[in-house]
Structure 1
Amino acid sequence: MDVKLGRVVITGAAGRMGPTVRTGLRADADHLVLVDREPVTVEDETETAVAADVADLDTLVKAFEEADAVVHLAALSDEAPFDSLLDTNVQGTFNVLEAARRAGVRRAVLLSSNRVTGSYPIHHHVFPDEPPRPDGLYAVSKVAVEALGQMYADTFGMEVVALRAGSFKEEPTETRDLATWLSPRDCVGFVRAALTATGVSYVTAYAVSANARRFWDLTVGESELGYRPEDDAAQFAGRFADDDPFWHGGPQSGDRATPEAVLEHLPD
């Protein structure tokens, strides 16, 4: 069944995930508004490019005018100094949600991260309603992103979906990806579902492919958003050693959940 998405804003359109989401939504959207600090070239009259930083609230409000939804992808996507994470991930998400509220945007899809629960052990099957166990400062900023989404849904009646994305790559490149891989096809599938699901107030769902070794429960994505992922990293398992130390135990984020990963970003 064809589903029209209306006018959709994508922040971080030139980033790592942005081009895949843009291409995947183009056929279903009436118009795409592509927001990024970096230059974006439009394909045709169904797209508009807006050069803007998520720090610029006034420009975001203008970019969001008459939009039906926003897909917020702009972010620092790994460990960094905490003030940088606060500025880009937390303040930036606040600006996106506030701009959406002022512009009357109905739905916001926020890119969260699997790493908000990255300190759970690898043998623990995590449900989205379990307490966060962030693996570092980056993950803490994503916990705040989810909290902002919950607040805007509860307080202002916005429809908000936070997608805890897995490891978004064309193909797995490390052992951990056998559990965490998010394929481009499934990435688009989750985002489209998050834009079109009915009866949404606030939903947090893991967005990860149907990997046999995954750590996370996918029933919320299927029951609340109506999407069941199609790909499985098991097809690439032969590339990686079966006895990799990662599978012997430890946190789901592996080396990302170590003191050393955080200490290098702390002030002297």
Structure 2
Amino acid sequence: MRLLITGAAGGVGTLLRPLLARDGRVLRLLDVAALTDTGDGAELVAASVTDLDAMTAACADVDAVLHLGGLSTEHPWEQILPTNIDGTYKVLEAARRAGVPRVVFASTNHTVGFHPRDGHEAPDHLFPRPDTFYGVSKVAGEALGSLYHDRYGLDVVCLRIGGCFARPLDTRMLETWLSPADAARLVEAALSAPGPLFTVVWGVSDNTRRWWSLAEAEKLGYHPRDDSERYADEVPAADEEFLRYLGGGFCSPELDGGGRDGSV
């Protein structure tokens, strides 16, 4: 089995690389940034998701694509559009042309960031209310995935990821954290669930403070094992001002117009 991972040199890609490596699987890692040969047998590809010909070539003999590539924080529209929106189109189109049956798309909780917290569990398939141009780009990616599933039969699983870091960064992330090990479990479930399939699921660990649904992810076979609570005494407090929104600090007016970078 050959798995193509776009954006493999990024934060999530770097965390997942050793966790997704296994006997009988070849990782084909693609990024515009330099990738390190770690001796794990991975195939390293220097290319951009914005290059359709390069992406089509990279999809040759691939069984599935994990699409992590793109800008992972807020940026001006002129940067978001070609990288995150057109780039995702080109990944899906390249997969279609090469006959790849499944794409797992790294979406984000910021597709629904302006939903107010109402004291109830945030359901799966929550209607888009993006908080940034970055969030808009991931809404577009989910919509493209739906189109490519319905029109071309491509299996697409969209993961609305919380904060995927080695450990939570603040008290908000005690709710939204996706541990690297659980991220790998979620990807494995998304790769192996029977098709035909298009779905949108939350990417979150089974945190004590979690208020995002796990129902759809569990249907894929995802069974998270980690809980952020063990870090509760170690992380700083999150900015309380925007915690009334699902997207937290991404709802800050400081991000109006993509004027500066944000963090997850």
Query: Residue 49 of structure 2 corresponds to which residue in structure 1?
Result: 54
Match of 1:246 among 240, 247, 263: 240
Query: Residue 252 of structure 2 corresponds to which residue in structure 1?
Result: 258
Equivalent-residue separation in structure 2 for 1:113 and 1:41 (angstroms)? 27
Count of matched residue pairs: 259
**Looking at both structures, which has the greater relative contact order when contacts are Cα pairs under 8 Å and sequence separation is at least 6?**
2
Equivalent-residue separation in structure 1 for 2:18 and 2:65 (angstroms)? 15
Render the CA deviation track for 1:146-173: whole Å, top value 9, x for unaligned: 0011110010000110111110111111
Show structure 2 runs of 5+ residues with no match: none
How far the C-alpha of 1:262 sits from its partner, in A, is: 1.9
Match of 1:82 among 69, 74, 77: 77
Query: Residue 194 of structure 1 corresponds to which residue in structure 2?
Result: 190
Query: Residue 3 of structure 1 corresponds to which residue in structure 2?
Result: none
Change (3 A) 1:121 1:105: same
Equivalent-residue separation in structure 1 for 2:76 and 2:243 (angstroms)? 28
**RMSD (CA atoms):** 2.0
Determine if contact 2:76/2:257 at 8 Å carries over to the other structure.
Answer: no
How far the C-alpha of 1:29 sits from its partner, in A, is: 4.7
Render the CA deviation track for 1:168-201: whole Å, top value 9, x for unaligned: 1111111110111111111111111111111342
Paired AA for residue 30 in structure 1 = R
Paired AA for residue 256 in structure 2 = V
Match of 2:156 among 155, 160, 170: 160
How far the C-alpha of 1:240 sits from its partner, in A, is: 4.9
How far the C-alpha of 1:43 sits from its partner, in A, is: 3.7
Equivalent-residue separation in structure 2 for 1:79 and 1:212 (angstroms)? 29
Equivalent-residue separation in structure 1 for 2:255 and 2:120 (angstroms)? 22
| More deviation, 47-56/17-26 | 17-26
How far the C-alpha of 1:249 sits from its partner, in A, is: 5.4
Paired AA for residue 56 in structure 2 = V
Change (3 A) 1:248 1:42: closer
Query: Residue 232 of structure 1 corresponds to which residue in structure 2?
Result: 227
Query: Residue 145 of structure 2 corresponds to which residue in structure 1?
Result: 149
Paired AA for residue 94 in structure 1 = Y
How far the C-alpha of 1:220 sits from its partner, in A, is: 0.3
Equivalent-residue separation in structure 2 for 1:230 and 1:25 (angstroms)? 17
Question: Identity over the aligned pairs, expressed in percent?
Answer: 42
Query: Residue 15 of structure 2 corresponds to which residue in structure 1?
Result: 20
User: 1:5-16 residue pairs with structure 2 within 5 A?
Assistant: 6-16=1-11
- 2:180 paired with 1:184: yes
How far the C-alpha of 1:212 sits from its partner, in A, is: 1.9
Paired AA for residue 158 in structure 2 = A
| More deviation, 186-195/25-34 | 25-34
Equivalent-residue separation in structure 2 for 1:241 and 1:144 (angstroms)? 33
Equivalent-residue separation in structure 1 for 2:252 and 2:240 (angstroms)? 13
- 2:131 paired with 1:138: no
4+ runs deviating over 4 angstroms:
none
Match of 1:125 among 117, 121, 128: 121
Render the CA deviation track for 1:82-109: whole Å, top value 9, x for unaligned: 1211111110000000000000001100
How far the C-alpha of 1:71 sits from its partner, in A, is: 0.4
State TM-score, norm by structure 1. 0.90
